[in-house]
Copies of this chain bind each other. A is one copy, B any other.
Amino acid sequence: MDLRRTRIAEIISSEEIGARFTVMGWVRTRRDSKGGLSFIEVNDGSCLSGLQVIAEEKLPNYLDEIVKIQTGASIMATGILVASPGKGQKVELRADEIKVLGWADPAEYPLQKKRHSFEFLRTIAHLRPRTNTFGAVARVRNTMSRAIHAFFQERGFLYIHTPIITGSDCEGAGEMFKVTAFDLDQIPKKDGQIDFAEDFFAGPARLTVSGQLEAEIYALAMGDVYTFGPTFRAEDSNTSRHLAEFWMVEPEMAFCDLDGDVALAVDFLKYIFSYVLENCKEDLLLFNRFIDSSVIKTLEDLISQEFKFITYTEGIETLSRATEKFEFPVSWGSDLQSEHERYLCEKVFKRPIVMVDYPKEIKPFYMKVNQDGKTVRAMDVLVPKIGEIIGGSQREDDYDTLLGRIKETGLNPDDYWWYLELRKFGSAPHAGFGLGFDRLIQFVTGMPNIRDVIPFPRTPGNMSF
């Protein structure tokens, strides 16, 4: 069988009336007119729009097959592209041949032409990418991934693959999953303790929570680098914003301070949002229409607005003066909640905010301590609707200060011997940030639940598919 085909996205944008095309895809609907004509809407995933295929009753398999084609079947159709007299499409395909590649029994196929709840669609994650919404999510996710690589590669950053399995518990950023090759029923013990020397890696292994510390190694040799890969948290957070497995983007730059870090973060956001608006407009219009009518405006605002720069201390002062009732109290030294971040963005400054110089007590050990001894060179980028979208910092590059911070926070310096050595041999100012990719996709699409922006979500109690 000849499987050469043209993608629907290409056919539609070609507008080559009179040209002959073969299309292959999945049937969304079929309706028959009284005049012995069937209209079959085919979608192949290349774009949101389907292609209307016209089947006339003179086709040899019209009665045997074509009028039995149902939602979900896969077909091949060959014919001439003609201008469409109907509403909703400019072109349609007048078929002279239609083959059914795979049937879908309407009594069994769970995706019928009606709206299904996202909760239900999660139970059929093997079929949900065939719906308009999840097809659009897949295209937006792909485009945002491409935008991320394009942004960094154009600027000479190297893509680094940091490890997933790790022996260190890193920055203490959260609960970690354990990895083992032990038979869990027969874990070897020695003197009453688990004998990790017998395990695959000869020690307790975990799934990484961040590639940052390893990215710093490469930044302090190659200059500018970034990671883009899966990270993990074993936290029992059953919310619409948490995944146990999620993708992170983490650039890290040598010879860069907090100002350079902030500048990169702002450029980065403006770049990727412009990119998705330019390359996924049809899909974003779908989200704007059916999911959240402010997504496009929010992205456009972020691209055009100047970001407001304030210190954490200024932020706290502003919040203390607010008449707004907050669920969580505000005081210097406590972490901001997203209600506070959103209030500052949406109500006070009416634009995105870069907040810097957080109290060292609420930030990890590796952030560079300011001259005041109380705050660190941290920065968070806050945006409307979600609050923090990026968190970063200049890193502590002074050996003694870093060693002090490690001890102060109760960590074991021996576990960080190589991280410390980076400050002993050719240390340099360096900085970086992290961005949770799945929350970014939530922000861009307006999808309310993070489980619906990743193909196969992993959450407490769920690792289906």
Q: Footprint of B on A, CB under 8 Å? A: 1, 3, 5, 7, 9, 24-27, 44-46, 72-74, 76, 101-105, 108-109, 111, 124-127, 129-130, 134-135, 138-139, 141-142, 145-146, 149, 153, 156, 158-167, 175, 177-182, 184-185, 187, 194, 200-205, 207, 214, 217-218, 220-223, 229-230, 232, 234, 236, 244-245, 247, 254-257, 260, 397, 418-419, 421-429, 454-456, 458, 460-465
Q: Are A102 and B397 in contact (CB under 8 A)?
A: yes
- Distance in angstroms from A394 CB to nearest chain B CB is 11
Known: A129-B218, A161-B454. 11 other contacts (CB 8 A): A7-B223, A24-B428, A27-B426, A127-B421, A129-B222, A141-B161, A145-B159, A149-B149, A178-B181, A184-B194, A217-B465
Q: Are B126 and A422 in contact (CB under 8 A)?
A: yes
Known: A126-B422, A427-B74. A255 touches B180 (CB 8 A): no
Kindly list the 3 A-B residue pairs having the minimum CB-CB distance in the complex, ordered from nearest: A45-B222, A102-B427, A129-B221
CA distance A126 to B184 in the complex (A): 33
Set of chain B residues within 8 Å of A461, measured between Cβ atoms? 200-202
A8 nearest in chain B by CB position? B223
Q: Are A425 and B109 in contact (CB under 8 A)?
A: yes
Q: Are B465 and A26 in contact (CB under 8 A)?
A: no
Known: A230-B230, A254-B24. A175 touches B179 (CB 8 A): no
Contact sample, A vs B, 20 pairs, CB 8 Å cutoff: A1-B429, A7-B156, A72-B426, A73-B426, A102-B427, A103-B426, A104-B426, A108-B424, A111-B425, A126-B418, A126-B421, A127-B421, A134-B221, A135-B221, A162-B455, A165-B245, A177-B180, A178-B179, A201-B244, A201-B461
Q: Are A221 and B177 in contact (CB under 8 A)?
A: no
Q: A222, A236, A245, A418: which has the most chain B beta carbons within 10 Å?
A: A222
CA distance A355 to B297 in the complex (A): 53
A144 nearest in chain B by CB position? B159
- Distance in angstroms from A391 CB to nearest chain B CB is 21
Q: Are B181 and A234 in contact (CB under 8 A)?
A: yes
Per a CB cutoff under 8 Å, which of B26, B214, B230, B463 touches A426? B26
Set of chain B residues within 8 Å of A220, measured between Cβ atoms? 74
CA distance A74 to B256 in the complex (A): 13
A427 nearest in chain B by CB position? B102
A129 nearest in chain B by CB position? B221
- Distance in angstroms from A400 CB to nearest chain B CB is 13
Set of chain B residues within 8 Å of A163, measured between Cβ atoms? 245, 455-456, 458, 463, 465
Q: Are B45 and A257 in contact (CB under 8 A)?
A: no
Q: Are B161 and A463 in contact (CB under 8 A)?
A: no
CA distance A457 to B235 in the complex (A): 27
Q: Are B223 and A46 in contact (CB under 8 A)?
A: yes
Set of chain B residues within 8 Å of A166, measured between Cβ atoms? 463
